[in-house]
Amino acid sequence: MRITADLDRCVGAGQCVLTEPAVFDQSDDDGTVVVIDGAPEDEETIDRVREAVHLCPSRALTLAEPTSTP
Amino acid sequence: MTASPTLPLKRTCPYAPPAEHVALQRQERVTRVRLPDGSSAWALSRLDDIRTMLTDPRFSSDRRREGYPLQTPGPPRRATERPTLIGLDPPEHGAARRAVVGEFTIKQMNALRPRIQQIVDERVDAMLAGPRPADLVSALALPVPSLVICELLGVPYAEHDFFQDRSARLLLRSVPPQERFAAANDIREYMATLIAEKAKNPAEDLLSRQLAKGADQEELAGLGFLLLLAGHETTGNMISLGTMTLLERPEALAGLKADPTVTPQVVEELLRYFTIAEYVTSRIAVADVELGGVLIRAGEGVITLANVANRDPAAFTDGDTFDIGRAARHHVAFGFGAHQCLGQNLARVELQIVFDTLFGRIPELRLAVTADELSFKDDSDVYGLHSLPVTW
Ligand code: HEM
Ligand code: SF4
């Protein structure tokens, strides 16, 4: 699982931080998202990240599912 | 096929969207509606369609565009008039939003909690010291958000009567356009003077910080105006409607009192249930777009019936039921897309603190009139209560 954030799209609404503060934070400067943990492994955390992706109003977040297992 | 209804329609029950909106949602996915000026627009009533539309850059927020769907006709917009944040499109919108959104991060809002708590406690003290019954709207619901936004911006609270009067008139559909225009001008002029003053004598407030970052004074006056207006009425209406709802639903209130960790969820559910500001999320198409099975042509207006969408069976189970156990955060009461409410996390913190404090400190709080005696703002662009007599 890899989280990517498109800072050009992010509008700093903070929905992601509200949903999973262990993974997302906001820059003090311009309020855009800061991904603290780009590859969480815990299933519950990943579920909340999925929710954050759904809630993000600017569709700035993507969660890349692993394509294959080695 | 029934004839297209003319918007805006009034809510007949405070707990339900206008029946005609519900009918539209059942009728067809995307429908035609009429507007007061005789024009037509498309109406979206499904949550998914609204989310899609509000994230599609081919729909513009620029109210100066010919054909922008206005439910409350205003005076003609001058093309030279500079739009504030809410009326900007990309790329200007992104830059303008980024210049200020750092003031509204979750961290900043949490840092404001102690001060907001203090403000709420003072208002509750004053209410308890005053006569019974009290009007919750004038004692608490309006002053709290008003004090908070004035302090954040650096606007003297002594002026709040002036702002409250002007912003209420600005939102009333029955007030003639010219008078609403004059109310807006009053606030704009006041802001311009205040900002010129702050440029000379900066203080510890948002307006001064924006000036220090090099903000243009005229643009900042527009932003200050928007923040003051948006930060005032909306949250106040949610405080009064929320208090009424919880007083009318003892089970939900007991749930809130029993477990303070549910407060944020109760607040989301109230936001969803009332969707007080759905009129602001309308847009105009700037290209031909296929949406929900229809072709929306460039220049056509799109209205979001967010209140029914926030009860869309595809997104919310039993959406007409008020349920504090619901996970409701995917509602669009704060809008969606790039314009999603800038002040949403301030509003959340204010509402959470108010409900916890009010019901915590006055457990005997109850309505002083019967529910059918309450008078609702069904004539305003933002739904709410004119007054809420309570006693304890
Ligand atoms: C419960 C209270 C509130 C509700 C229901 C509400 C609702 C909304 C909605 C629906 C929008 C979207 C408009 C659009 O799509 O064009 C919006 C935008 C906005 N709101 Fe709020 N709001 C609330 C509180 C606040 C507060 C407290 C503030 C100020 C501190 C505020 C400031 C703004 C601003 C500046 C925008 C424009 C953002 C942009 O265009 O990027 N709102 N609000
Ligand atoms: S929810 Fe989306 S828009 Fe909001 S801060 Fe997070 S990434 Fe940015």
| B35-53 pLDDT, tens digit each | 988 899 999 999 999 999 9
**Which two structure tokens, joined as six digits, stand for B152?**
């954040």
Mutate to test the pocket of ligand 2, among A33, A49, A50, A59 (most ligand atoms within 8 A of CB): A33
Ordered alpha helix ranges (H), B73-176? 92-101, 106-129, 136, 143-153, 160-171
What is the sign of the dihedral through the CA atoms of A17, A21, A25 and A28?
positive
Assess whether the C-beta atom of A61 lies below 6 angstroms from ligand 2.
Answer: yes
Q: What is the mean pLDDT of residues B155-167?
A: 83
| Residue B157 backbone zone (phi > 0: left; psi -120 to 50: alpha; other: beta) | alpha
* b (16+ CB within 10 A) / e for B161-180: eebbebbbbbbbbebeeeeb
- A44 touching B, CB under 8 A? no
B250 to B123, B256, B371: CA distances (angstroms)? 24, 10, 14
CB atoms within 10 A of CB B288: 12
B82-275+314-391 CATH pick, 1.10.3720.10, 1.10.3210.10, 1.10.10.10, 1.10.630.10 = 1.10.630.10
Atom 14 (ligand 1) nearest CA: B281
Query: CB distance B106–A55 less than 8 Å?
Result: no
| A34-43 pLDDT, tens digit each | 999 999 999 9
| B275-292 pLDDT, tens digit each | 999 888 999 999 999 999
**Domains annotated on chain A, with CATH:** 2-64 (3.30.70.20)
| B242-258 pLDDT, tens digit each | 999 999 999 999 999 99
Residue A70 has pLDDT above 70, yes or no: no
- Which segment of B6-10, B62-66, B93-97, B103-107 scores lowest on mean pLDDT? B6-10
Alpha-carbon span B99 to B96, nearest angstrom: 5
Instruction: With cut-offs at 50, 70 and 90, classify the pLDDT of residue B3.
Output: low
Q: What is the mean pLDDT of residues B149-153?
A: 94
| B340-375 pLDDT, tens digit each | 999 999 999 999 999 999 999 999 999 999 988 999
CB B59 within 8 A of CB B53: yes
Instruction: With cut-offs at 50, 70 and 90, classify the pLDDT of residue A50.
Output: very high
Q: Could you check whether the bond before residue B131 is cis, i.e. omega within 30 degrees of 0?
A: no
ipTM: 0.89
Regarding predicted confidence, which is higher, B270 or B228? B270
Summary mean pLDDT of chain B:
92
pLDDT confidence of residue B1: 46
Alpha-carbon span A27 to B77, nearest angstrom: 36
Chain A residue with CA closest to B331: the answer is A55
- Which segment of A16-30, B18-32, B45-59 scores lowest on mean pLDDT? B18-32
pLDDT confidence of residue B80: 60
Q: How far is A3 from chain B (nearest CA, A)?
A: 20
Chain B residue numbers with beta carbons less than 8 Å from the beta carbon of A20 are none
pLDDT confidence of residue B2: 52
Assess whether the C-beta atom of A60 lies below 6 angstroms from ligand 2.
Answer: yes
**Which two structure tokens, joined as six digits, stand for B316?**
């919310």
Domain locations along chain B = 82-275+314-391
Assess whether the C-beta atom of B346 lies below 6 angstroms from ligand 1.
Answer: yes
Q: How far is B98 from chain A (nearest CA, A)?
A: 5
Instruction: With cut-offs at 50, 70 and 90, classify the pLDDT of residue B56.
Output: very high
Regarding predicted confidence, which is higher, B167 or B304? B304
Q: Beta partners for B391? A: B366
